[in-house]
Homo-oligomer: A and B are copies of this chain.
Amino acid sequence: MPKASSSMTSPEFTYPEGSAAFPHRGLVGIAGLAPHEIMFLLDEAQQWVELNRHAQKRRDLLSGLTIINAFFENSTRTLLSFEIAGKRLGADVVNMAVATSSVKKGETLIDTAMTLNAMRADAIAIRHGSSGAVQLIADKVDCPVINAGDGQHEHPTQALLDALTIRQAKRAFNGLRVTICGDILHSRVARSNILCLTSLGAEVRVCAPPALMPADIERMNVQVFHDFDAALRNADVVMMLRLQMERMQGQFIPSPREYRHLYGLSLERLAKAESNALVMHPGPMNRGIEIDSNVADLADRSLITTQVEMGVAIRMACLDVLTRKARGLEGWA
């Protein structure tokens, strides 16, 4: 039976009973995090935002710890972000390459997990194409596991970095109107952001063509739109999702051109939101499809590169906090 907080389950995924997402097992999802825990991570990340602006960016907090980035799905930017985060904290970081993985030789995911564990990893960041795969691994290893994106389930560090980005610009989440537009159905980014932002008190609107909206979306604490113009009214933040290439083949949307017409963010459309509304996108962008170039490059209002910057800081905070217990420090309040 799924937990209350993970109501927007994809068919393949249900939370195992009683598995606390955090801190015992690392950070598998935003679901399970209390608002003060989210805010604690944002607060912790703030120091790294500052540090990263200097030439000397290294701290030796995690000196001698081994962090493994096991990415079963390709993702250059998220992998780079985790790798940089670990190295800046002084850890020994190793990447497990997907294409050469034993998984290709028929090894089970559990055996891969047991192998990483036996090498005495102190933290493992995992990206996997299947919802629930990260929890499966987290249940089998002794060290904290960070979900770097699993199937259509969660991408918690993305939601945290988005929250940090918003907090820097808007200060408070309470009553903030955030419109998330795009392929809500398949998006773990949407899912984690909905959980995070509603938990922090924001008013979240989701907008998608009917075929890309989850059937059970009503069970989440969001307002549902199919008309982007209506979804934008009074919005303080507009968060666009990437349209995956494989959805552009006619099964889900008629054509990229029509998608852009109905759900792309143009300057004209952005004008329907609040006059100082912020623009976000998790990247990589399809310029000219879900977002126009002149919107993506809007000075002051587009926070897309800020999101990338916050990403490194959030991952540093997560790696630091989650390994505190192993380092003999208190985890968190």
Contact = CB atoms under 8 A, between A and B. Distances in A.
Contact-size category for A:
35 or more
A116 to B, nearest CB: 8
Interface in A78-99: 79-81, 83-84, 87-88, 92, 94, 96-99
A252 to B, nearest CB: 17
B327 A55 contact: yes
Interface in A94-108: 94, 96-102, 104-108
Interface string A298-311: 00000011111101
A201 interface: no
B115 A305 contact: yes
A91 to B, nearest CB: 9
Given A66-B84, A76-B100, A100-B74, A309 B57 contact: no
A66 B286 CA distance: 28
The oligomer's copy count stands at: 3
Contacts of A66: 57, 84, 87-88
B64 A284 contact: no
A97 B115 contact: no
Interface string A119-160: 110100000000000000000000000000000000000000
Contacts of A68: 80
Interface of A: 52-58, 63-66, 68, 74-77, 79-81, 83-84, 87-88, 92, 94, 96-102, 104-108, 111-112, 114-120, 122, 245, 283-287, 304-309, 311-312, 323, 326-328
7 contacts: A55-B65, A55-B326, A55-B327, A64-B88, A66-B88, A68-B80, A114-B308
The 3 closest A-B pairs by CB, nearest first: A58-B64, A107-B284, A118-B308
